[in-house]
């Protein structure tokens, strides 16, 4: 049974068709964290907030490391979709799920050393550490489901369906809120109740994803047999793309971890300022990723079916929408950064200390939008090696040199110059690499 291609439609409508559900999916994620913090904020001690914060921080790093699975699956699935290759679409899902399940089980088996290393780095009081470790030991049971959802989300997106990942994201977060409220408010549990609620919600989301797979894509089901993983030579492309994106992700994590570490070294006030401003970076990323995710299936599908004459127009359209989003976010940050900052904190010392750095918030969208959009386009072409090179060069030739060269004289300004330079240089490098990474592949 063939996988039907979309009927011809205006490229701008296609972009919005993918971008809007992805933005909605992205926005649901921080809402859950706010609910968890609100539940713990009404406990009889502040240690429960700290336990959730530490435990969530460790899981954020772990799961961010597995973000490669969503990206590599999305690009390859989009190309198989464009080729109307039902067999390859099914095998890609099988490969992605095999990594998701194996990765989750591996995390579960290595939970003790991971926890020891992670919490030794994160620090915290003895009581907070103990609660955070208990939270970690419960929530780690969700790892196979959580990582498998990454795989399924990327696959659904590559199969030109952005609504299913949106439904899954909303369902997981609603279930999480309901379970957490039941365990904490109804049964009197504390941070452990939040962890257990997360585990049940993740497996609920996985079951929903499997249901959608069976219901919406029955043609791929005959290929979902474990023996089809072999011979491994058919796995080579998937592993190569995944490996490139995994290493790239590690360097992105390194950059932001360094940013947080050097913020902390400047004292609690600057740490508070930079941590709050990092929320502006996350807001920008949530919006811009929606358009990057839209680029993945659109250009990947066109590349798969060799519609080379349409790809340049699609890339231009992605950048038109991305530029519009960048300008809108720049205006929002220009006019609203102070009110937003005051919504996030009432600490006058932090608000006053933040004023000299407001310009950097305004420059976040300007410096970063091209890198995000190119990421989506490169993933659609599975040009993962060039994505890796762009991050490596930006990290090693811009981020660290800028920081170490200017920090002795400019302090926190140098840290912001480094992170904004990291964003901007990625966009410049990817633009320069677009010839071999993209345009030579579609030369006709």
pLDDT digits (tens, 9 = 90+) for 153-174: 999 999 999 999 999 999 998 8
- Residue 276 and residue 362 in one domain: yes
Lowest mean pLDDT, pick from 48-52, 78-82, 148-152: 48-52
pLDDT at 308 over 60: yes
Q: What is the pLDDT of residue 187?
A: 79
Q: What is the DSSP letter of 183?
A: I
- Residue 244 and residue 307 in one domain: yes
Report yes or no: 283 and 364 within 8 Å, Cβ to Cβ: no
Angle, helices 67-82/268-304, rounded to nearest 10 degrees: 20
Q: What is the pLDDT of residue 251?
A: 93
* Last residue of one domain, picked from the residues 201, 230, 259: 230
Lowest mean pLDDT, pick from 224-238, 287-301, 379-393, 412-426: 224-238
* Last residue of one domain, picked from the residues 230, 254, 282: 230
Q: What is the pLDDT of residue 46?
A: 54
Q: What is the pLDDT of residue 194?
A: 79
- Residue 185 and residue 273 in one domain: no
Q: What is the pLDDT of residue 3?
A: 44
Lowest mean pLDDT, pick from 25-29, 75-79, 108-112, 296-300: 25-29
Q: What is the DSSP letter of 217?
A: -
- Residue 303 and residue 413 in one domain: yes
- Residue 262 and residue 355 in one domain: yes
Q: What is the pLDDT of residue 132?
A: 78
- Residue 265 and residue 381 in one domain: yes
Q: Is residue 2 one of the residues assigned to a domain?
A: no
Q: What is the pLDDT of residue 27?
A: 80
Longest CA span, the chain:
68
Average pLDDT over every residue of 117-123: 75
Q: What is the DSSP letter of 308?
A: H
Q: What is the pLDDT of residue 43?
A: 56
- Residue 288 and residue 177 in one domain: no
Alpha carbons 389 and 51: distance in angstroms, whole number: 37
- Residue 213 and residue 255 in one domain: no
- Residue 192 and residue 323 in one domain: no
Report yes or no: 290 and 19 within 8 Å, Cβ to Cβ: yes
| Position with higher pLDDT, 228 vs 424 | 424
* List of residues 6+ apart from 34 with CB closer than 8 A: none
Q: What is the pLDDT of residue 60?
A: 78
pLDDT at 294 over 50: yes
pLDDT at 276 over 70: yes
Average pLDDT over every residue of 208-219: 93
What are 330's two structure tokens? Answer: 């720049």
Average pLDDT over every residue of 338-349: 76
* Last residue of one domain, picked from the residues 178, 212, 230: 230
Q: What is the pLDDT of residue 328?
A: 95
DSSP H or E stretch at residue 428: helix 412-437
Alpha carbons 146 and 152: distance in angstroms, whole number: 10
pLDDT at 437 over 50: yes
pLDDT at 233 over 60: yes
Report yes or no: 55 and 122 within 8 Å, Cβ to Cβ: no
What are 21's two structure tokens? Answer: 């559900």
Q: What is the pLDDT of residue 256?
A: 86
pLDDT at 248 over 90: yes
Alpha carbons 96 and 100: distance in angstroms, whole number: 6
Q: What is the pLDDT of residue 363?
A: 95
pLDDT at 240 over 90: no
pTM of the model: 0.87
Lowest mean pLDDT, pick from 43-52, 197-206, 317-326: 43-52
Q: Is residue 1 one of the residues assigned to a domain?
A: no
Q: What is the pLDDT of residue 35?
A: 63
Q: Is residue 310 one of the residues assigned to a domain?
A: yes
pLDDT at 400 over 80: yes
CA 17 to mean position of chain CA atoms:
20
**Which pLDDT band, with edges at 50, 70 and 90, does 295 fall under?**
very high
Q: Is residue 285 one of the residues assigned to a domain?
A: yes
pLDDT at 78 over 90: yes
Q: How many CB atoms lie within 10 A of CB 326?
A: 24
- Residue 175 and residue 323 in one domain: no
Q: Which of 87, 73, 78 is nearest to 303 (CA)?
A: 78
Report yes or no: 252 and 61 within 8 Å, Cβ to Cβ: no
**Which pLDDT band, with edges at 50, 70 and 90, does 47 fall under?**
low
- Give the residue numbers spanning the domain of 373: 236-444
Average pLDDT over every residue of 53-81: 84
Q: What is the pLDDT of residue 283?
A: 86
Alpha carbons 426 and 245: distance in angstroms, whole number: 14
Q: Is residue 5 one of the residues assigned to a domain?
A: no
Query: Which phi-psi region, left, alpha or beta, contains residue 143 (left: φ > 0; alpha: ψ -120 to 50)?
Result: alpha
| Position with higher pLDDT, 60 vs 401 | 401
Alpha carbons 442 and 444: distance in angstroms, whole number: 6
Per the structure, the count of domains in the chain is 2
Q: What is the pLDDT of residue 350?
A: 77
Percent of the chain exceeding pLDDT 90 equals: 45
pLDDT at 284 over 60: yes
């Amino acid at each position: 049974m063939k996988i039907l291609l979309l009927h011809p439609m205006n490229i701008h409508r296609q972009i919005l068709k993918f971008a809007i559900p992805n933005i909605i999916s992205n926005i649901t994620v921080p809402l859950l964290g706010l609910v968890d913090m609100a539940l713990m904020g009404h406990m009889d001690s502040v240690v429960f907030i700290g336990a959730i914060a530490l435990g969530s921080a460790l899981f954020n790093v772990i799961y961010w490391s597995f973000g490669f699975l969503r990206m590599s699956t999305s690009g390859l699935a989009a190309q198989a979709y464009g080729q109307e290759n039902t067999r390859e679409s099914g095998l890609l899902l099988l490969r992605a799920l095999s990594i998701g399940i194996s990765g989750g089980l591996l995390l579960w088996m290595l939970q003790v050393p991971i926890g020891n290393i992670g919490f030794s780095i994160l620090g915290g009081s003895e009581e907070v550490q103990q609660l955070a470790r208990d939270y970690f030991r419960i929530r780690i049971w969700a790892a196979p489901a959580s990582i498998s959802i990454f795989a399924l989300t990327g696959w659904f997106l590559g199969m030109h369906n952005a609504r299913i990942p949106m439904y899954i994201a909303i369902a997981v977060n609603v279930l999480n809120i309901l379970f957490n409220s039941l365990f904490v408010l109804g049964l009197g549990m504390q941070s452990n109740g939040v962890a257990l609620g997360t585990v049940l919600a993740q497996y609920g989301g996985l079951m929903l994803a499997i249901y959608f797979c069976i219901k919406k894509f029955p043609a791929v089901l005959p290929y979902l047999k474990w023996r089809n993983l072999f011979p491994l030579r058919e796995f080579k492309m998937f592993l190569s793309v995944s490996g490139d994106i995994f290493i790239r992700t590690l360097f992105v994590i390194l950059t932001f971890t360094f940013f947080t570490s050097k913020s902390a070294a400047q004292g609690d006030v600057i740490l508070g300022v930079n941590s709050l401003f990092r929320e502006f970076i996350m807001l920008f990323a949530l919006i811009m990723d929606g358009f990057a995710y839209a680029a993945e299936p659109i250009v990947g599908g066109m590349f798969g079916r060799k519609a080379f004459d349409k790809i340049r127009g699609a890339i231009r359209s992605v950048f038109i929408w991305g530029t519009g989003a960048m300008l809108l976010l720049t205006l929002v940050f220009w006019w609203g950064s102070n009110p937003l900052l005051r919504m996030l904190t009432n600490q006058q010392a932090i608000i006053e200390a933040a004023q000299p750095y407001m310009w950097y918030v305004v420059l976040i969208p300007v410096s970063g939008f091209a890198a995000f959009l190119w990421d989506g386009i490169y993933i659609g072409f599975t040009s993962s090696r060039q994505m890796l090179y762009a991050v490596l060069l930006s990290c090693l030739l811009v981020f660290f040199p800028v920081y170490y060269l200017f920090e002795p004289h400019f302090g926190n300004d140098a840290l912001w110059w480094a992170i904004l330079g990291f964003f901007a240089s990625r966009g410049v490098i990817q633009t320069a690499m677009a010839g071999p990474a993209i345009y030579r592949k579609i030369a006709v």
